[in-house]
Structure 1
Amino acid sequence: MSVHASQSPALRARLRRSLIQLGSLLAIALVVVGVFAMFSVWSLNRAHLANEAVASQFLFALDDGRSAQTHFKIQVQEWKNILLRGSQEQDYTHHFDAFEHEESEVQTRLASLEERARGVDLPQLASTAQDLADEHRSLGETYRNALERGRRMAWDPFAIDQQVRGIDRSLNDGLDQVAEALLSATAERRTNAARQERGRYHALRDFMGWSVAGAIAMVGLVLWTALRRRTGQA
């Protein structure tokens, strides 16, 4: 009886220390797992926001390409309006101003497309946009030269149109190809971004699972050791 009495305070002290160690280990494990969980959420959110920002740039570039395409079609229509109604000075001025406005819009959209293409690391597309802008400027000069020659004599829209017939096809085809390339690049980018996000999620999920399992194993080991000592000294 005296032996058990002398051992009880020491046993209780060791048990108390074991429980303190166990509690400390649990607290550390919870902090580590919690911090990693917060990091995982932050990392996934940052990757998602980054991918969304790039995807937005692709969509803006696509909008620039399609807008350039639309404004060029309107510009060509204004050219036809000039030919149809240009015999009257007032009508000529009205439609020529509209022609120049659409021309300016095409240049603005192509310049924006070039900048955005470089921003999303598509140098080939940026170079294509620059080439289309150069071709478009040259086309405008050809239209103006035809009008200047046509206005030196009796107004003949058929003769003026004959000088520039079909010159818009190449640029129109180029703008179509840019729009198609952007659609393809946008779809590919979204697919790659989704794949990257899934890969990151699975990697963080697996690491989180192993971290929790490791923490539980450590806590279990400490508890098992404490119980074993208590049993051995009881």
Structure 2
Amino acid sequence: MLSNLTLKFKILLLSALVILGLCLLGGSAYFQIRQFNAIVAETNLHVQRRSDILVEIQESAISFKTQVQEWRNILIRGNDPDRFTKHVDGFSQAEKIVQEHLSNAITLQKEEGVSSDITEKLKAEHEKLGRNYREALKRFDQKDPGTGMVVDRSVSGMDRATASQMEELAAATSAGFENYLLESDKKNQSVYKTTVSILVVICVAASAVIVGAMAFIFRDMFKTLGGEPAYTADVVSQVANGFLNIEIQLKQGDQTSLLASVENMRKQLAEIIGEVCSSADALSSASEEVNATAQSLAKGASVQAASVEETSASMEQMSASISQNTENAKITDGMAQKAAREAASGGEAVMGTVEAMQKIAERISVIDDIAYQTNLLALNAAIEAGRAGEHGRGFAVVASEVRKLAERSQVAAQEIGTLALDTVKRAEMAGTMLNEMVPAIRKTADLVQEISAASAEQNSGVAQINGAIGQVSQTMQQNAAASEELSSTSEEMSTQAIRLQESMTYFKLQSEAANSSFKKPAAKISTKPSNTGSKRKDTKPSTDDDLDKNFVRYS
């Protein structure tokens, strides 16, 4: 049944089997990988939960240390009411955080199916510890400097059991997490090996089916060809290239294969081609001359192409240099303007600093005088009040207040002096700004030098372009001379072609072999523009020869 099918259908059938096998393999791989991914996803979920449990327990241990530290801060610094309130709040906040982390850990342990008895016991112990701390804190007397030591002795060692339990719980949780990771890894490796084994079995089975189909189809194809495809292709290629003296090896009794048909064609072509060998030799000689000339033209074209590339590269380099010069000029202009603005700003800053210093000096002098005079007046008033006795007591109080105002005025004078020093620093900053202008000016000079260098590169590029243009001109002259030589050779070739065409008029369909045997030199001639216009149109082959119209004739 399959022997009656065409080769195209057999190849399509083989392709369908290959695609079906690939689909089967891909579907199986997808199903196995999907199962593997589901297992991995479930494992990752458990790993994430256990990791969260470990994190919550570790965070609770850290927060518990913070809580203990806040308790110590209360005992050490609690005599200050503000600090007492601050550290009590910190103690409560840390205690709340510990409880939250332990509650979260218990919830996650229940979701994961892990025993939470130890965690719940630790949470209860921590709550009890907080209550004990607060009971002891009631005995804290902020007015007594030694109350912290008294309270500390009452709760000494109370937190050790809870701290130890937290550390043990964290260590146990960490060890359990690591063991779970190892078990999960072993489980994943087992699932992976099983998946790979299944895929290998499916792949081997599909490959066996495909290989069997390929063997059957290739056996039938070899029978149709008459031999190996490579040998058949080599025989056909040699016959197409004109090697009609080859010996084709046929199997015994083979009369219908492709190789048998090629052998029959070779024998018939050998008889016909013998009549045109002499004309073919002359045509081959002329073709060689045309080929040499064509190579000369090709060489000239290559040189022209290289020159054009060099010219293009030089133009690109020149364009880049011009762009660089333009950009540098813009940068130079911008930096020069910036330097000018900075210089102006620096001058204004220095002038403003000088004026500010002068005004501050004046204000300091006035304030100092006022403070001095006020102090004297207050002193005199105090003396007079002392003389007045009991009746001058109120006036003495006023004099004392005035004297305080005088002292405050002196303090203000000192602050203004500090402002004067700050103004001096501003003047120094202005000087620094002026100094920063120097590098900018130097950078401007460097950019100008770069612009000069870019201009030199432009000159070099122009020189290269001129040289390339001269070389292109010389190559064009060589091409012109080669074209003349090609024209002369083509005339000789045309004479030989006429004789060959007159011989070919005797051929019928078999002339296709002769045309294909010598098509290479004829094609080289027809590609040259100097000869395409000289095709002979008045010589007509036999009307029964449909393939002879592909042969090119020359006058």
Q: TM-score range by the shorter chain?
A: 0.7 to 0.9
Normalised by the length of structure 2, the TM-score is: 0.36
Tell me how far apart the structure 2 counterparts of residues 185 and 30 of structure 1 sit (CA, whole Å). 44
Q: Deviations over 1:98-155 (max 9, x none)?
A: 10010001001101111122222212xx221111111111111111111113449956
Do 2:78 and 2:142's aligned partners in 1 also have CA atoms closer than 8 Å? no
Normalised by the length of structure 1, the TM-score is: 0.81
Deviation at 1:224, TM superposition (A): 5.9
Q: Deviations over 1:192-228 (max 9, x none)?
A: 1211111111111111001111122233445667789
Tell me how far apart the structure 2 counterparts of residues 95 and 10 of structure 1 sit (CA, whole Å). 94
Deviation at 1:39, TM superposition (A): 2.1
2:128 is the alignment partner of 1:138: yes
2:167 is the alignment partner of 1:176: yes
2:176 is the alignment partner of 1:185: yes
CA RMSD of aligned residues (A): 3.0
Structure 1 segments unaligned to the other structure (5+ residues): 1-8
Alignment correspondent of 1:44: 36
2:202 to 189, 206, 211: 211
Per the alignment, do residues 22 and 148 of structure 1 end up closer, same or farther by CA in structure 2, a change over 3 Å counting? same
Tell me how far apart the structure 2 counterparts of residues 16 and 71 of structure 1 sit (CA, whole Å). 78
Do 2:79 and 2:143's aligned partners in 1 also have CA atoms closer than 8 Å? no
Alignment correspondent of 2:186: 195
Alignment correspondent of 1:4: none
Deviation at 1:171, TM superposition (A): 0.7
Q: How high is the sequence identity, in percent, across the aligned residues?
A: 23
Matches for 1:75-224 after TM superposition, within 5 Å: 75-123=67-115, 126-151=116-141, 154=144, 156-222=147-213
Q: Deviations over 1:32-65 (max 9, x none)?
A: 1111122233333333333233222222221111
Alignment correspondent of 1:66: 58
Tell me how far apart the structure 1 counterparts of residues 93 and 201 of structure 2 sit (CA, whole Å). 63
Per the alignment, do residues 146 and 228 of structure 1 end up closer, same or farther by CA in structure 2, a change over 3 Å counting? same
Which stretch has the larger CA shift, 34-43 or 129-138?
34-43
Query: What amino acid does structure 2 have at the position aligned with 1:171?
Result: T
Per the alignment, do residues 138 and 153 of structure 1 end up closer, same or farther by CA in structure 2, a change over 3 Å counting? farther
Tell me how far apart the structure 2 counterparts of residues 49 and 11 of structure 1 sit (CA, whole Å). 53
Tell me how far apart the structure 1 counterparts of residues 37 and 107 of structure 2 sit (CA, whole Å). 27
SS at match of 1:114: helix
Tell me how far apart the structure 2 counterparts of residues 191 and 76 of structure 1 sit (CA, whole Å). 36
Q: Deviations over 1:44-102 (max 9, x none)?
A: 33333332332222222211111111111111111111111222322211111110010
Tell me how far apart the structure 2 counterparts of residues 144 and 152 of structure 1 sit (CA, whole Å). 15
Tell me how far apart the structure 2 counterparts of residues 52 and 181 of structure 1 sit (CA, whole Å). 20
Tell me how far apart the structure 2 counterparts of residues 10 and 80 of structure 1 sit (CA, whole Å). 95
Tell me how far apart the structure 2 counterparts of residues 227 and 67 of structure 1 sit (CA, whole Å). 71
SS at match of 2:84: helix
Deviation at 1:30, TM superposition (A): 2.0
Matched length: 222
Tell me how far apart the structure 2 counterparts of residues 51 and 204 of structure 1 sit (CA, whole Å). 17
Tell me how far apart the structure 2 counterparts of residues 179 and 68 of structure 1 sit (CA, whole Å). 9
Bigger relative contact order, structure 1 or 2 (CA pairs below 8 A, ≥6 apart): 1
Per the alignment, do residues 12 and 176 of structure 1 end up closer, same or farther by CA in structure 2, a change over 3 Å counting? same
Alignment correspondent of 1:5: none
Per the alignment, do residues 24 and 157 of structure 1 end up closer, same or farther by CA in structure 2, a change over 3 Å counting? same
Tell me how far apart the structure 2 counterparts of residues 80 and 54 of structure 1 sit (CA, whole Å). 39
Structure 2 segments unaligned to the other structure (5+ residues): 224-555
SS at match of 1:149: coil
